[in-house]
Amino acid sequence: MKIGFIGLGIMGRPMVFNIIKAGFEVKAFDLNEDARKVVANAGAMEAVSPEMAAEGSDIVITMLPNAFIVQNVLFGENGIVNHLKPGSIVIDMSSVSPADSILCAEELKKVNVRFMDAPVSGGEPKAIDGTLSIMIGGEEQALNEALPVLQAMAADVTHVGGHGSGSTTKLANQILVNVTIAAMSEAVVLASKSGVDIEKMYQAIRGGLAGSTVLDAKIPLVLERNFVAGGRIDINMKDLTNVVQAGHDIGVPMPLSTDVLEMFHALKIDGKAADDHVGLIQYYEKLANFEVPKGGK
């Protein structure tokens, strides 16, 4: 099975590595030539354009920053739509709105190409070790055909429903992750300014109801004061913007998501758009005029 992969950023690059390790033939493209060279050294064929990545591929995977770029790659002036094999499958693993996913599915159907929205959760660490969670929107037959490729990148592959369902599930995931990080940040700044050792606080609460995968992933970064991006603030801003819009489109108020989105906007203005979203703690630190000490005490 021949795979085309477009988008070799923080997530896309390790995903390609795992597809190669599973024995698939991969043609990979990114605008960044250095990223292309890295995956070529790992065994991929370097594609110098999206069209080259798509040409002759049974499955084309896109892992891109936003819906505008996805649609431009697919349907723009030099889009791959006219280079896709009839009967092939496009899997968009980007975080986009459900409406964007449905539009892609409808347009590709016109040229006899199948589509799945397949966003992921787990961040860079799980992309590296091939244990992502993938949420699928699309037809079951297409999923069955693509499953071996998806399993090369993931520990869990869940067929949620029809086109757009995967993207909707990712939006729900992003609400839970980012609102939890905001709540964690608020709690940590309160405890730390009160004189509590944050490492001990974490050990005390992690086994109870407040414990979570988010807490386990992000508290160590707070203790290290490590804001190097795994999940960038600007990317999560995009996701929460999609969350709020999707909610408004169907009459669902999104008060918590809106609040966290505004926090992200404040951090962006403060020059922190490229930080990991655990950098939300810096928003609370600024309000409290207090910095959580490295090591937590």
Quote the pTM value: 0.91
Q: What is the pLDDT of residue 117?
A: 98
- Say whether 170 is catalytic: yes
DSSP codes, 196-207: --HHHHHHHHTT
Q: Which of 60, 5, 2 is nearest to 29 (CA)?
A: 5
Task: Report, as an integer, the average pLDDT of 197-208.
Answer: 97
Instruction: Write the pLDDT tens digit of every residue in 107-143.
Output: 999 999 999 999 999 888 899 999 999 999 999 999 9
With H, G, I as helix, E, B as strand and everything else as coil, classify residue 269: helix
Task: Report, as an integer, the average pLDDT of 82-98.
Answer: 96
Q: How confident is the model at residue 26 (pLDDT cuts 50, 70, 90)?
A: very high
With H, G, I as helix, E, B as strand and everything else as coil, classify residue 272: coil
Task: Report, as an integer, the average pLDDT of 225-243.
Answer: 92
Q: How confident is the model at residue 86 (pLDDT cuts 50, 70, 90)?
A: very high
Task: Report, as an integer, the average pLDDT of 193-209.
Answer: 97
Q: Which residue in 27, 126, 170, 238 is the catalytic one? A: 170
Q: What angle do CA 147, 212, 161 make, to 5 degrees?
A: 30
Residues with Cβ within 8 Å of 126's Cβ and at least 6 positions away in sequence, in order, are 132, 133, 155
Rounded to the nearest 10 degrees, the angle between the axes of helix 98-109 and helix 233-249 is: 80
Cα separations in angstroms, 284 against 10, 142, 170, 177, 258: 27, 45, 26, 17, 16
Q: Which of 32, 36, 54 is nearest to 46 (CA)?
A: 36
Q: What is the rounded CA–CA span in Å between residue 129 and residue 282?
A: 29
DSSP codes, 143-173: HHHHHHHHHTTEEEEEEEESTTHHHHHHHHH
Cα separations in angstroms, 51 against 100, 105, 280: 21, 19, 39
pLDDT reading at 230 higher than 90:
no
pLDDT reading at 296 higher than 90:
no
DSSP state for residue 23 in the 8-state scheme: T
Domains of the chain: 2-161 (3.40.50.720), 168-296 (1.10.1040.10)
Q: What is the pLDDT of residue 229?
A: 78
Q: What is the pLDDT of residue 297?
A: 85
pLDDT reading at 285 higher than 90:
yes
Task: Report, as an integer, the average pLDDT of 142-147.
Answer: 98
Task: Report, as an integer, the average pLDDT of 177-185.
Answer: 98
Q: Kindly state the helix (H) or strand (E) to which residue 90 belongs, with its residue range.
A: strand 89-92
Q: Which of 69, 71, 134, 63 is nearest to 108 (CA)?
A: 71
Task: Report, as an integer, the average pLDDT of 159-163.
Answer: 98
Task: Report, as an integer, the average pLDDT of 261-289.
Answer: 97
- For all residues of the chain together, what is the average pLDDT? 96
DSSP state for residue 47 in the 8-state scheme: P
Task: Report, as an integer, the average pLDDT of 153-164.
Answer: 98
Q: How confident is the model at residue 231 (pLDDT cuts 50, 70, 90)?
A: confident
